Structure 1
Amino acid sequence: MNDLLKNLSDKLDASGGTLARLDTYYSGTQPTAFLSKEAREALGDRLKVLAVNFPRLAVHALAERLQVSGFRRAGSEAPDSALWADWRRNRMEDAAAQAHVDALVYGRSFVIVWAGPRGPLVTVESARQVAVIRDPATREVTAALKRWVADGKGHAVLYEPDQITRYTSAANVEDPAAMPATSWEHAETIANPLGVVPVVPIVNRGRLLEVDGVSEMDDLLDLSDALNKLLADMMVTSEFYARPRRWASGLEILEDDDGNPVKPFSAALDDIWQSEDPVTKFGQFDAARLDGYADAVALITQQIGALSTLPPHYLGLNGDQPPSADAIRSAEASLVSRCYQLQRTFGQAWADVARLIIAVREGVDPLAIDLDVVWGNPETRTPAQAADAAAKLVSVGVPLTVVLEDQMGYTPAQIDRVRTAQRTQALDGAGVDLAGLIA
């Protein structure tokens, strides 16, 4: 069997446990850590899972601000409309958002570009199905594998710079976690005219040697466990100790026919407790307070906000007074800065994807293509603030197309629409009959 196939298959298997654990935290189904045996018994089956899903919030707070809005060839101010048409035809406006979510959850996601019946075919892939090998010197992808289960069989596609090979499992496979280690049968091999591996990793980079990326949730997992434990303890306390416990002394203990003690009083709210014995005394213990839990929960939540760059109004820490617009912008400064950093990192990967799309469509060398990715503005602005800033920039001579892109967050398609409308309005104002000119 191909050594590359085995090495990449082993790499997928080795990462499966870590990725599955991250999945549980993203979905909020992780087991409740730190919960004592007594607390579990007290809760019984009334609280199987209690999770305040801040890890998912940390991922979505970033992902929702990362929007690819176009591509521009080097040296050109106009967007590449043909490339954007391929992008939209492959439904990448939605798929790119999913790629960002997976890259932030797992540390990486992947995009595969190949030729389809209607032009370039672009698909977004999960780190649970795709693995790559990089050149240790250049860090370029030298081989990639996609592996999945369908129709009761295991399927694998090995991507190399000069060829692409398909394999199927010799035996039936029902569980994706039980893929065969070596028993693969060759199905077909086709040439790869691109000269590069058509698989692009989108990596949430950490340090230099973390080539497979890091999860945006890593720093939050233990804090989330601590927070969920506090909330579970608070639920146990509220169930058993937050209501006053009454006591009575000087009563004769009655027993049933089996010798078991019988409760002398009902717990119904409208019942009156009474005793004819003059030595009987009644009283109650103070109820347990939950203030300590609330303080501890607030402390853990603040630490989660500090590590995740989530602003206080995302975490519910502002109280009853809503923050002002300026306060929101100030609180979101770290979050926005992180978004700009991710735009730089993910932008390089999306530029590689765009190069492959052009190479497939035009038959050119993808390494000879230079282009930029256009991103939407990740900052929070009211329409009035954005319009005011745009008007001031236009008044000092900044081109309208630049202002619409940078300040208003317009996509290249929207900017083209504005420019077309401006030209039409100018011709109408000059009394030019376009129909007559065409005729």
Structure 2
Amino acid sequence: MINGDDLLPVSDEETQPHESKLVITKPYEDPITPTQNGSEDSNSLNENQQQQDEGLPSDASFIINLLSYEKRGEGINAYLVYKIASHVSNVPGYTRQSYEILRRFSDFLGLREKLVEKYQHSGILVPAAPEKSISALTKTKLNSADEEHNSNEVVDKRARDLQRFLRRISRHPKLVTDCDFRDFITMDGELPKAAFTSALSGSSMKKMFKSFGDVFSKIAFPMDENDRWFEQVHSQVDELDELMGRLLVGIDQLVLGRKGMTTGQDQFSKALSMLASCEENTSLARTLSKLSETHENLAMVGKHMTQEDSSILLETIQEHMALTNVLKEVFYERVKAWQNWQNQVQLLNKKREIKTRHELAGNTDRANQCKNELTDCENKVDQMEKDFQNMSNIIRKEFKRNCQQRREDIKEALLRYIESLIESEKQTLEQWEKFQHEVKS
């Protein structure tokens, strides 16, 4: 756990009457490498830029880091502020190369909601932001300064998730140039507060009821899928989601097992220390003391590996499971587009029948009026068909881009995790060799 005693530098306008100490003071590290020149992510982004013809330069780069966070206020008015630094090069819309801004958690949720409203209906994958947890909210608001240390683990994880969220957006050739994301990264001062980000807000309840309605609509009006590619992808995504869920359970058990082992090492070290203090034989007491110190150091190594298990493996899989759920949401947006198109086709057929009846009855005026309505309806049907085809093409590209990034991310996470394992084994071996040398001497 990273602690510090410096306050986060803020402007006079942003200073609140009650401020607490800074919890962390250095950038988070995670398996997601920021997009930059010469990296695999940069090459991947450039290929996607060429495929999607987004017009970004070939040497565009976007590096973003969440540097620190700070609790402000006390009691029910307490909240966290995150300091974000970004370095931008050759990305349209950004006038400077470096930015540093302060954002609240609700600002992240508001950004995600805006991007979803603008892009998800067209087939673009908008990365999922961390969910608003009532338990984490309660810990943030009600914990005293002495209790903050106990909740750091939850808050640190949220900070890493927020950094992943921003980096994922910065890797998308369309979202990185969006005006709302640009304002989020570049605008000084506070952003307008989004009312729908509250965990118990009326907008949240409406979204919940809307999701129920979408599920009912999906069951009641199933889509007649004629595209074999989408049939195969649906099966692949469901299978991938199931396999990643099993992997997540295994990693979670690994984290819990290593945490239990670390706790055991720490307790055993304390017991040995007490035994050494009671031992009358000086030589044996010294040996027990060295063994206690060895197990204490091994507990520290185990604690570090527990954090690596969680921050590298567990959170990487959790992020991509969230992206898989977003992909499913985009697939359903396509189903809704198809349903609207078919409803419009049915309406067109009804108008044709009405026009035919008026013509047979000799109602020329009503037939002409229906003819005009029929023309508008035909245009809507044609436009909906085009929109559906365009959306299907975008989803294909988004799916391929997501698969490519998932392979790169998991590969990089595994390599980093193996390096961390090797380093921890070296430290463990060093501790036992040092203890062996002390015992022999």
TM above 0.5: no
Taking structure 2 as the reference length, the TM-score comes to 0.30
Greater radius of gyration (CA): 1
Judging by fraction of residues, say which structure has more strand. Answer: 1
Bigger RCO (CA 8 Å, 6+ sep): 1
Taking structure 1 as the reference length, the TM-score comes to 0.30
Judging by fraction of residues, say which structure has more helix. Answer: 2
